[in-house]
């Protein structure tokens, strides 16, 4: 499988609790609106595979709110997997699973592949902070692993039809300085073509705080 990325996986300082659970300042800000959109527009029951779970907080927060959801963590980064393991231990229920080591850019997602079909794939704040190969791999994976009618839920900053909010443009430049392969993606020009190649139909685009979007696709 893949090796640890040589560069930091996020742009913020994360606290680690004594039990190994990590906490991200950005998740503290965005977890409630993300949970609400997920519950209203994605699913309240079913099997969820999260790609790039990071600290693991979103899965813990959403499964706590939605007792019909079973959520499996994954990531490419071993330190993130450790935090996800700690969130599984601390959950107090058995609907948080994994974590799986998963590199979205690969054509075979290993254990996630054999567990298909999944009802939902989730990826929050990943596609701008990973190379385009990971974005392509994410959509190809959603096409392979989702059941027909299953959903792909993405959250993050985007451009739209070649235009981008000034705060997202500055963020994108920062990202590219760290890694020229990173950068805020244009939903219409870069992302939607990958979705249609993978057999995914755009269902909903919801505006979120701080110029972010929730984007929901359905597997045809
Ligand atoms: C900014 S963090 C977001 C983490 C989490 N989803 C959140 O919202 O807090 C980006 C995550 O993408 C993961 N990542 C980057 N490239 C990846 C890849 N090719 N496959 C899977 N995960 C990847 C990183 O390890 C990191 O955990």
CATH code of the domain containing 119: 3.40.50.150
CA distance linking residue 120 with residue 42, whole number of Å: 8
Q: In this structure, is residue 212 part of a structural domain?
A: yes
CA distance linking residue 62 with residue 53, whole number of Å: 12
CA distance linking residue 40 with residue 204, whole number of Å: 11
Distance 104 CA to ligand 1 centre (A): 9
Q: In this structure, is residue 67 part of a structural domain?
A: yes
Whether the per-residue pLDDT at 1 is higher than 60: the answer is no
Q: In this structure, is residue 5 part of a structural domain?
A: no
Domain range for 71 is 15-219
Confidence of residue 13 (pLDDT cuts 50, 70, 90): confident
* Any atom of ligand 1 within 6 Å of the Cβ of 53: yes
Ligand 1 atom index nearest CA of 134: 19
Element (H, E) at 213: strand 212-219
Instruction: Give the DSSP letter of residue 188.
Output: I
* Any atom of ligand 1 within 6 Å of the Cβ of 105: yes
- pLDDT score for 216: 99
* Any atom of ligand 1 within 6 Å of the Cβ of 9: yes
Q: What is the pTM of this model?
A: 0.95
Confidence of residue 84 (pLDDT cuts 50, 70, 90): very high
- pLDDT score for 11: 67
Q: In this structure, is residue 8 part of a structural domain?
A: no
Q: In this structure, is residue 7 part of a structural domain?
A: no
Whether the per-residue pLDDT at 7 is higher than 60: the answer is no
Per cent of the chain over pLDDT 70 is 95
Distance 215 CA to ligand 1 centre (A): 17
Q: In this structure, is residue 111 part of a structural domain?
A: yes
Residue 152 to residues 61, 103, 119, 180, Cα–Cα distance (Å) = 18, 17, 9, 26
- Number of domains comprising the chain: 1
Q: In this structure, is residue 142 part of a structural domain?
A: yes
Q: What is the pLDDT of residues 100-156, one digit of tens each?
A: 999 999 999 999 999 999 999 999 999 999 999 999 999 999 999 999 999 999 999
- pLDDT score for 182: 98
3-state helix, strand, coil in the chain (%, to 5): 40, 30, 30
3-state secondary structure 49-100: EECCCCCCHHHHHHHHHCCEEEEEEEECCHHHHHHHHHHHHHCCCCCEEEEE
| Least confident span in 1-15, 125-139, 151-165 | 1-15
Per cent of the chain over pLDDT 90 is 92
Q: In this structure, is residue 9 part of a structural domain?
A: no
């Amino acid at each position: 499988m893949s090796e640890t990325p040589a560069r930091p996986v996020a742009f913020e300082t994360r606290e680690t609790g004594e039990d190994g659970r990590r906490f991200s300042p950005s998740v503290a800000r965005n977890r409630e609106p993300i949970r609400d959109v997920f519950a209203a527009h994605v699913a309240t029951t079913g099997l969820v595979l999260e790609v790039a779970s990071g600290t693991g907080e979103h899965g813990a927060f959403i499964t706590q709110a939605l007792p019909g959801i079973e959520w499996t963590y994954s990531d490419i980064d071993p330190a993130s997997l450790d935090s996800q393991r700690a969130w599984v231990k601390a959950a107090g229920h058995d609907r948080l699973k994994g974590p799986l080591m998963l590199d979205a850019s690969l054509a075979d997602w290993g254990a996630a592949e054999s567990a298909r079909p999944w009802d939902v794939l989730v990826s929050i704040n990943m596609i701008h902070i990973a190379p385009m190969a990971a974005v392509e791999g994410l959509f190809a994976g959603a096409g392979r692993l989702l059941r027909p009618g299953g959903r792909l839920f993405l959250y993050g900053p985007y451009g739209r039809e070649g235009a981008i909010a000034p705060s997202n443009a500055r963020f994108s430049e920062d990202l590219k300085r760290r890694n020229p392969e990173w950068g805020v993606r244009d939903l219409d020009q870069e992302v939607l073509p990958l979705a249609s190649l993978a057999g995914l139909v755009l269902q909903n685009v919801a505006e979120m705080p701080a110029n972010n979007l929730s984007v929901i696709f359905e597997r045809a």
